[in-house]
Amino acid sequence: MGAQTDADADAGAAGRRPRALPWPVLCWVTVLLLIGIVQIVRAQWFDTVVFFGAALLVAAARWPPAIAARLVPLRVVVAAAVLAGIVVCVLPRHGGGMVSVVAAIGIAALALAWPGRAAGPRPWTPGLRRLAWVWSGLVVAGCLWELAQFVLGEIHPDAPSYALSDLLDPLLDGAPGRFLFTAAWLAGGVFLLRRGPRG
């Protein structure tokens, strides 16, 4: 749910940034730290740095003053996403070129997501609250399955794994699977970049 709280409003009215992290931000910091801990167990050090770094960035993002977003036109974002998608589809997976392009996509997305003043309190209708609970519950259910598969893999390293990653991995080696995944991933990114203060 949104992170605008009464404490934020009071602090905003007094012209200062609130010191404490509101609970939605605390929840996200906790989620990022938990994913980071799983990455330590997986011995994936780059991913560990990403998630612990992201937790720090998310906690720190509360304090710099908000910058008014200069909305990048949708057609520019879509054209950049299509171009990025074409490049991603032709580059070999896990190669140096792919690493560079996906890293560049991440940096660009963060740069576009950073600015934007909160639009202020917007009403959470009962329907929206229900929607938030359903989405949260189902995403957590998917994550718990992934975690269970990971734990089973640690207990029985020789047994095959059935995590989503292992199911999708063979599909992404083929052109249709790579195209569908890249299109869905980038479309999701464009959607996220158009929401919030821009929505």
Partner 1 sequence: MTLLSIAYFGLCAALLVLATWRIRRADPEATVAALFDRLLDDRAVRIAVIVVWWWLGWHFLAGATL
Least distance between partner 1 and beta carbon 155 (Å):
14
Total Cβ atoms within 10 A of residue 157: 8
Q: How far is the CB of 21 from partner 1 (least distance, A)?
A: 8
Nearer to partner 1, 61 or 82 (CB): 61
* Minimum distance from residue 23 beta carbon to partner 1 (Å): 11
Pick the closer one to partner 1 by CB: 51 or 77: 51
Smallest distance from partner 1 to CB 193, Å: 8
Do the Cβ atoms of 51 and 34 come closer than 8 Å?
Answer: no
Distance, in Å, from the CA atom of 57 to the CA atom of 60, rounded to the nearest integer, reads 5
- Is the Cβ of residue 44 or residue 80 nearer to partner 1 in the bound state? 44
Rank residues 78 and 197 by Cβ distance to partner 1 and give the closer one.
197
CB of 15 to partner 1, least distance (A): 18
Residue closer to partner 1 (CB basis): 80 or 162: 162
